[in-house]
């Protein structure tokens, strides 16, 4: 049932602010981890003595498409160096992960699933004809060991069994051999059934579990989409059922589910792990491609334009492990952290706060988002994400000039060597839609003739508005952007070495301390939007591209019991203690310290 197919890095190129965002990423941690971080630089995957499990595959999963999207020859060569080293260590029987033969039974084969996915990405970018055979032999060996009982899925491999289907589907499309269907069945049979765990999602537990782990939650949403075809079962949109339960009991204003590190309820002072942002985005990309249902594209935009930039520094050299909706400080907890199963430093901006998985894994988010701008099916092309980009594939050339989501006008230049149908997805929140000056509604479709050149100008309005949140709080949203009350801050740089891993500028750690008041509530529903233009840093914490003026007053909000740097989950009082004032709200992704869920004050 595949509705849409993805294009490759040879066919899509980012433009405008999106290209600049990818350039910042390449100039930051993503583009330099192999130079500075031992777990990449000296990984066992390339013959070193450091981590030989998920971190190199995670990093390459984003570094590879980033390199090819930017056409960066140095990065492309460095990616090839890693791939060459990895495949040079493949055993004659197909095993590829860096462990001894004796260790295979105790080696969590989540790494097998991940490296085959990463190798698939590499082939799609490089067209290196060695790769399909490498993946084939890895999967055949995996199948034989699972079928023969030499190994079984456990822990992460059990929780993430569906991740292997990216590579299984890729190889099956090339060779169609029946053993791949058998492998798919074994993985599903031995893998976790998340439908049997939903009762655990309704109430947060201060206990670490695979079946409530937030990254597993983000990944598993795509499980039916990637597996139903090869398993020969009907697609039921089970992801929507699971999504609604997660949202009801753990939802955040920016489309995430709380998880620090496991599901954490509806509190605005609980966090969400950055890996979950990247994986939830990828799931939504797969779900939209599978179904064509615009809800997944809109949910993807909300994550990409809010949750992703919020938890990474402007220069993309540092990131948080956990982000919070109401985050008044990012300072190391001197005692018990507010997080349910994470450590004292999880919300600092740094090289590898808490765990280094996010250091490696966040790299996939922006490149794969960029690759989802256009999709196709036969002679039909859809602009799934209306971000600045360019498509050149199969005699079809389409260029979009826009500053969306900060502005809502779009100029399309279309040239066709061959006839095709061109569809433009219009967000459900679009108002007063016009196409070439004429009023329109819903999805836009054009029949493009061979040899035709066409310019399409589209614009629509979006209205800022309040949305209700749990605990009688409210948040401001405008289109795909969520807005927060920003808190000015000062940074304290922390340079040190721990476990032979050095933190030094620019990849040191930072604490963020508040310099402005945060104890506000909204006074009335008047909201006034101002568009400022996109700077050299698209989601700048100093020069936001758009702001919304709101009326607020101070209240006695209070601190969470036992903490000096965490606001109370719910305000202690909703009575005003100041006059009404106007304040500029920032996009959530621009506000590193912020209050996102505030009360409405009735008597201010």
Q: Concatenate the DSSP letters of all residues of 440-498 into one string.
A: --S-EEEEEPTT-EEEEEEEEE---EEEEEGGGEEEEEETTEEEEEE--EEEEEE-EEE
* Structural domain includes residue 243: no
CA distance linking residue 4 with residue 291, whole number of Å: 8
pLDDT of residue 443: 87
Task: Report residue 442's pLDDT band, with 50, 70 and 90 as the boundaries.
Answer: confident
Question: Is pLDDT above 80 for 477?
Answer: yes
Residue 200 belongs to some domain of the structure:
no
- Tens digit of pLDDT for each residue in 59-86? 999 999 999 999 999 999 999 999 999 9
**Does the residue 125 lie in any domain?**
yes
Q: Report d(CA 255, CA 325) in Å as an integer.
A: 11
In a domain, 386, yes or no: no
Which residues constitute the domain of residue 136? 37-191
CB 182 within 8 A of CB 240: no
Instruction: Tell the burial category of 443 from Cβ atoms under 10 Å away from its Cβ (0-12, 13-18, 19+).
Output: exposed
Task: Flag whether 159 is in a domain.
Answer: yes
**What pLDDT digit, counting tens, does each position of 231-286 carry?**
999 999 999 999 999 999 999 999 999 999 999 999 999 999 999 999 999 999 99
Q: Is the pLDDT of residue 2 over 90?
A: no
10 Å CB burial of residue 139 (0-12, 13-18, 19+) is buried
Structurally, how many domains does the chain consist of?
A: 1
Q: What pLDDT shows up at residue 1?
A: 62
In a domain, 408, yes or no: no
136 in a structural domain: yes
The pLDDT-based confidence of 603 (bands split at 50, 70, 90) is: confident
Specify the residue for token string 């059990």: 158
Tens digits of residue pLDDT in 496-507: 999 999 999 999
- Is 0.95 surpassed by the pTM of this model? yes
Query: What is the pLDDT at residue 230?
Result: 98
């Amino acid at each position: 049932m595949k509705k849409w197919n993805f294009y490759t890095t040879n066919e899509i190129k980012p433009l405008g602010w999106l290209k600049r965002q990818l350039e910042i990423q390449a100039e930051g941690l993503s583009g330099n981890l192999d130079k500075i971080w031992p777990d990449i630089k000296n990984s066992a995957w390339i013959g070193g003595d450091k981590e030989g499990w998920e971190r190199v595959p995670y990093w390459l999963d984003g570094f590879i498409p980033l390199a090819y999207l930017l056409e960066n020859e140095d990065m492309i060569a460095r990616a090839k160096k890693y791939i060459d080293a990895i495949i040079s260590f493949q055993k004659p029987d197909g095993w590829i992960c860096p462990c001894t033969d004796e260790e295979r039974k105790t080696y969590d084969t989540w790494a097998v699933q991940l490296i085959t996915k990463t190798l698939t990405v590499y082939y799609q970018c490089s067209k290196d004809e060695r790769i399909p055979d490498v993946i084939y032999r890895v999967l055949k060996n995996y199948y034989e060991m699972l079928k023969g009982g030499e190994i079984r899925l456990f822990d992460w491999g059990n929780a993430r069994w569906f991740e292997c289907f990216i590579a299984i589907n890729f190889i099956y499309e090339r060779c169609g051999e029946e053993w791949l269907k058998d492998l798919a069945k074994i993985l599903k049979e031995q893998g976790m059934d998340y439908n049997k765990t939903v009762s655990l999602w309704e109430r947060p537990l201060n206990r670490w579990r695979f079946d409530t782990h937030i990254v597993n939650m983000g990944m598993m949403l795509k499980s039916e989409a990637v597996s139903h075809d090869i398993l020969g079962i009907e697609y039921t949109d089970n992801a929507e059922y699971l999504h609604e339960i997660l949202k009801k009991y753990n939802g955040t204003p920016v489309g995430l589910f709380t998880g620090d590190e496991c599901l954490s309820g509806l509190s605005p002072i609980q966090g969400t792990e950055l890996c979950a942002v990247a994986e939830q985005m990828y799931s939504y990309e797969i779900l939209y491609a599978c179904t064509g249902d615009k809800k997944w594209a809109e949910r993807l935009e909300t994550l990409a334009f809010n949750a992703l930039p919020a938890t990474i520094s402007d220069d993309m050299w540092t990131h948080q492990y956990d982000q919070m909706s109401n985050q008044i400080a990012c300072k190391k907890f001197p005692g018990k952290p507010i997080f349910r199963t994470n450590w004292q430093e999880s919300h600092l901006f740094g090289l590898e706060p808490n765990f280094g998985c996010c250091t490696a894994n966040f790299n996939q988010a922006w490149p794969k988002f960029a690759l989802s701008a256009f999709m196709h099916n036969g002679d039909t092309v859809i602009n799934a994400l209306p971000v600045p980009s360019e498509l050149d594939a199969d005699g079809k050339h389409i260029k979009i000039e826009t500053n969306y989501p900060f502005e809502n006008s779009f100029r399309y230049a279309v040239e066709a060597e061959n006839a095709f149908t061109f569809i433009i997805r219009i967000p459900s929140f679009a108002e007063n839609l016009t196409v070439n000056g004429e009023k329109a509604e819903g999805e836009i479709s054009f029949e493009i003739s061979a040899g035709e050149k066409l310019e399409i100008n589209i614009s629509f309005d979006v209205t800022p508005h309040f949305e209700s949140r749990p605990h009688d709080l409210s948040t401001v949203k405008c289109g795909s952007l969520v807005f927060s009350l920003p808190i000015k801050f000062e940074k304290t740089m922390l340079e040190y070495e721990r476990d032979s891993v050095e933190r030094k500028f620019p990849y040191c750690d930072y604490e963020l301390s508040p310099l402005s008041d945060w104890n506000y509530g909204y006074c009335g529903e008047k909201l006034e939007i101002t568009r400022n233009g996109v700077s050299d840093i698209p989601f700048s914490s100093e020069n936001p591209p758009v702001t919304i003026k709101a009326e607020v007053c101070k209240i006695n909000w209070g601190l969470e019991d036992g903490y000096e740097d965490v606001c109370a989950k719910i305000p202690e009082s909703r009575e005003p203690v100041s006059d009404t004032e106007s304040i500029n709200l920032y996009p959530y992704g621009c506000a590193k310290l912020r209050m996102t869920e505030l009360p409405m004050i009735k008597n201010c």
